[in-house]
Amino acid sequence: MNCLWLTRKYPRPANSGELIYSNGLIRSFAETGAKLTVLAHDNDEEPVGRGGSHSEYVDDDNVKWQLGTPHLGGRLASLFTRYPSDSWRLKNGGPEAALVAALENESWDAIVIDHAALGWAFRLIQSAKLKGDFSIDPVVVYLSHNHEAKIRREIAKNSKASLPRRLALQLDAEKYARQEEMLCREVDLVTAITDTEVEAYRENFPSQKYISLTPGYEGESQRREITEATPRRVVMSGSFEWVAKRINLERFLEQAASPLQEAGIELQIVGKADDDYRCEISDRFSGVDMVGRVPEMTPFLLKSRMGLIVEEFGGGFKLKTLEYIFHGLPLAGLDHAVEGLPLSSPENVLLTPDTGSLISAIIEKIDDFDALNRMQKSSLEICESSFRWKDRGHKLFNQIEAMRADAFAG
C-alpha cells in the first residue's frame, strides 16, 4: 500500500496529546509495511529539516517526511477566508504546494487527513479525483482527534475574552464545524478516538463508515507502592497553550485551589505553558505549583498520590490518563472526562460528576493507602494489554485494505 498522510507538524518531541496520538498512529501504521509519505510542517522545537518551505527527511521507521516551515504565520488573515485559523496557517508555508505535487506526480492507495485542521486538503484531493488523476481512486480517511464542531463551539461559549475576541472564536468555531462536517460527509472512512465520538458522528452522518482508534502507550510500566513517604500531592499534566485547556484549568482551580490548600494537599500542574501564563496562574491561585514545561514527566508522577483528569468540556480520550496509569498513579477525575477507559469507579479509578464532589473525594482518599494502591494496581493490570499502538496501526491498515478490496470487487 502506498499511503499519503497529512498531519499538522512533525510530531517529535511528542509532548502534547495531539502529537502523541499522531506520532503513535504514524509509527504503528508504518510497522504494517505500508509505504508511507507524510506531509507536515517541521517541528519548531526540534526541527529536522532545513527550515524553509520544503525539506525532506526519512526517519528510523522508513517514513518519508516532506516538511514545510516550522514557523506558522498569523491567524488574522484567516478571518477573511473560508478557513478556520488553524487550517489557514497549516496550508501555507509548504504543505499545500507539497500536496499539489504529490497528487500530480504519484499514485496513492490511501490518503489520511490527520485532524480536522487539515480539512483544507480535501478540496485538492477531490479536484484530482474529478480530473481523473488517479487510475484507481484512493481511500480517503479523516482521522479525527476530537468532535471539533462540539468542542470549538464550547470554547467560544465559555471564553472570558473581550467581545471582539469572542466573536472571532465564534466565527472560527463555525468554520471548523463546516469543515469537519464536510469531511464526515465526503471522505470514505472516519476514525474517532472513542466509541462515544463514533456515535456522535453517526447521529449526523449515519451512512458513513467508522472505526474507533483509542490511543496506545509505548512506555514502560512502573511498579510502585504509595506510602506515607509519598508527598501528599495531586498532579495534573498537560499542555496549556490551547485556549480550551486554559479555560478548563482555570474553571477547576477556581473551585479546587483553596479547598486543597486548606486540606494540606499540594496541587502541582506540569506541562507546556508560556512563562506569562504560568506566572498568572501562580499569582491568582496561591498554593498552586505551576511548574511549566519539563524534560521528563516521570519524576513528578512518581512523587504524587493521584493524577487529575478534570476537563469540564472537550470530550475525547485524554492521553494523560495512560501516562498516569502506566506510572502507577491512581486516577481521579470527572465522569465524562475519561471516555474510552475500561475502568470502573471506585474499584479502579476515583470518579465523580462534578468538581466539588471530586475535591471532597480526593480529600477523603488522599491518606487511604490501601485504596490508592488497589486503584493503581488494578488499573495497570487492566490496561497493560489493552492499549498497544501496534494494534491501532494494524486496525487502520486492515480497514483500508478491506475497503480497497471491496472497490476492486465492485
pLDDT tier at 337 (50, 70, 90 boundaries)? confident
Same domain for 199 and 258?
Answer: no
Counting residues of the chain whose pLDDT is more than 90, the rounded percentage is 69
Q: What is the pLDDT of residues 56-79, one digit of tens each?
A: 999 999 999 999 999 988 888 888
**pLDDT, average across residues 341-363:** 93
Same domain for 184 and 258?
Answer: no
Same domain for 143 and 254?
Answer: no
Nearest to 347 by CA among 315, 307, 376, 309: 376
**Residues facing 2 on adjacent strands:** 35
Same domain for 105 and 238?
Answer: no
Q: Retrieve residue 52's grid coordinates.
A: 524553509
Q: Which residues of 276-289 are buried (b: 16+ CB within 10 A; e: fewer)?
A: eebeebbeebeebe
Within a domain: 293: yes
Q: What is the predicted pLDDT for the residue at 121?
A: 97
Q: What is the pLDDT of residues 292-308, one digit of tens each?
A: 888 889 999 999 999 99
pLDDT tier at 339 (50, 70, 90 boundaries)? confident
Q: What is the predicted pLDDT for the residue at 300?
A: 94
Nearest to 383 by CA among 352, 351, 353, 341: 341
Q: What is the pLDDT of residues 17-44, one digit of tens each?
A: 899 999 999 999 999 999 999 999 999 9
Within a domain: 228: no
Within a domain: 225: no
Q: What is the predicted pLDDT for the residue at 208?
A: 97
Within a domain: 221: no
Same domain for 177 and 253?
Answer: no
Q: Which residues of 181-210 are buried (b: 16+ CB within 10 A; e: fewer)?
A: bbbbebbbbbbbbbebbbeebeeeeeebeb
Parallel, antiparallel, or unpaired: how do β-strands 35-41 and 210-212 relate? unpaired
Same domain for 369 and 313?
Answer: yes
CA distance 386 to 396: 16
Q: Decide: 188 and 407 in contact? Cβ < 8 Å.
A: no
Mean pLDDT of the chain: 92
Q: What is the predicted pLDDT for the residue at 157?
A: 84
Residue 391 in this model has a pLDDT that exceeds 90: yes
Q: Decide: 318 and 347 in contact? Cβ < 8 Å.
A: no
Q: What is the predicted pLDDT for the residue at 385?
A: 83
Q: What is the pLDDT of residues 120-141, one digit of tens each?
A: 999 999 999 888 878 789 999 9
Q: What is the predicted pLDDT for the residue at 148?
A: 85
Q: What is the predicted pLDDT for the residue at 314?
A: 60
Q: 74: buried, middle or exposed (CB in 10 Å: 19+, 13-18, 0-12)?
A: exposed
Q: What is the predicted pLDDT for the residue at 162?
A: 86
> How many structural domains is the chain composed of?
2
Q: Decide: 158 and 245 in contact? Cβ < 8 Å.
A: no
Same domain for 401 and 377?
Answer: no
Amino acid letter for position 343: L
Q: What is the pLDDT of residues 235-258, one digit of tens each?
A: 999 888 878 788 889 999 999 999
**pLDDT, average across residues 334-354:** 87
pLDDT tier at 316 (50, 70, 90 boundaries)? low
Question: 350 in the Ramachandran plot: left (φ > 0), alpha (ψ -120 to 50) or beta?
Answer: beta
Residue 273 in this model has a pLDDT that exceeds 80: yes
Q: What is the predicted pLDDT for the residue at 23?
A: 96
Within a domain: 265: yes
Same domain for 251 and 209?
Answer: no
Within a domain: 223: no
Same domain for 239 and 325?
Answer: yes
Same domain for 203 and 261?
Answer: no
Same domain for 19 and 166?
Answer: yes
**pLDDT, average across residues 259-279:** 92
pLDDT tier at 287 (50, 70, 90 boundaries)? confident
Which range of residues forms the domain containing residue 102?
A: 2-216+388-409
Same domain for 180 and 48?
Answer: yes
Within a domain: 153: yes
Q: What is the predicted pLDDT for the residue at 30?
A: 97
**pLDDT, average across residues 401-407:** 91
Q: What is the CATH number of the domain that holds 196?
A: 3.40.50.2000
Q: What is the predicted pLDDT for the residue at 335?
A: 86
Within a domain: 222: no
**What is the 3 state secondary structure string of the chain?**
CEEEEEEEECCCCCCCHHHHHHHHHHHHHHCCCCEEEEEEECCCCCCCCCCCCCEEEECCCCCEEEEECCCCCCCHHHHHCCCCHHHHHHHCCCHHHHHHHHHHHCCCCEEEEECHHHHHHHHHHHHHHHCCCCCCCCEEEEECCCCHHHHHHHHHHHCCCCHHHHHHHHHHHHHHHHHHHHHHHHCCEEEECCHHHHHHHHHHCCCCCEEECCCCCCCCCCCCCCCCCCCCEEEEECCCCCHHHHHHHHHHHHHHHHHHHHCCCEEEEECCCCHHHHHHHHHHCCCEEEEECCCCCHHHHHCCCEEEECCCCCCCCCCHHHHHHHCCCCEEEEHHHHCCCCCCCCCCCEEECCHHHHHHHHHHHCCCHHHHHHHHHHHHHHHCCCCCHHHHHHHHHHHHHHHHHHHHHC
Farthest CA pair distance, the chain: 69
Q: What is the predicted pLDDT for the residue at 163?
A: 85
Q: What is the predicted pLDDT for the residue at 315?
A: 59
